[in-house]
């Protein structure tokens, strides 16, 4: 029983380290063939938006808005894939119960 408690405590410590690390990892998403790039942290905080000057026209505002959303969603998907890999490494591949969100 004590060995199991030590394993749980070690996993909790690793989890806390991973949480801190996720604040520093940046993930990029792009859309429009690279015309819009969004950078977020692995935890989903928006850090930067880069827009190609060719899109800076008033008559293309709707297109630009859609491209920003698409770039963010691309980055978010990459972030979620990164998190899944880190969680598998942390839990030793043990599946988490359905619906359990740690982030």
Per-residue pLDDT, averaged over 72-101, amounts to 78
Q: Is the pLDDT of residue 101 over 90?
A: no
pLDDT of residue 64: 93
Q: Kindly report the average pLDDT of the chain as a whole number.
A: 85
Domains contained in the chain, CATH given: 25-90 (3.30.1310.10)
- DSSP states along 9-67: HHHHHHHHHHHHHHHH-EEEEEEGGGTEEEEEETT--EEEEEE-GGG--GGGHHHHHHH
- The confidence band for 96, taking pLDDT boundaries of 50, 70 and 90, is low
**What's the pTM value of the predicted model, to 2 decimals?**
0.72
- In tens, the pLDDT along 47-60 reads 999 999 999 888 88
């Amino acid at each position: 029983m004590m060995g199991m408690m030590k394993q749980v405590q070690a996993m909790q410590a690793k989890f806390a380290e991973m949480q801190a690390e996720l604040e520093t990892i940046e993930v990029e998403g792009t859309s429009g063939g690279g015309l819009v790039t969004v950078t977020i942290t692995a935890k989903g905080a928006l850090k930067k938006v880069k827009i190609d000057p060719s899109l800076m026209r008033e008559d293309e505002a709707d297109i630009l808005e859609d491209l920003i959303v698409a770039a963010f969603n691309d980055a978010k998907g990459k972030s979620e894939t990164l998190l899944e890999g880190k969680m598998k490494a942390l839990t030793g591949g043990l599946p988490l119960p359905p619906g359990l969100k740690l982030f």
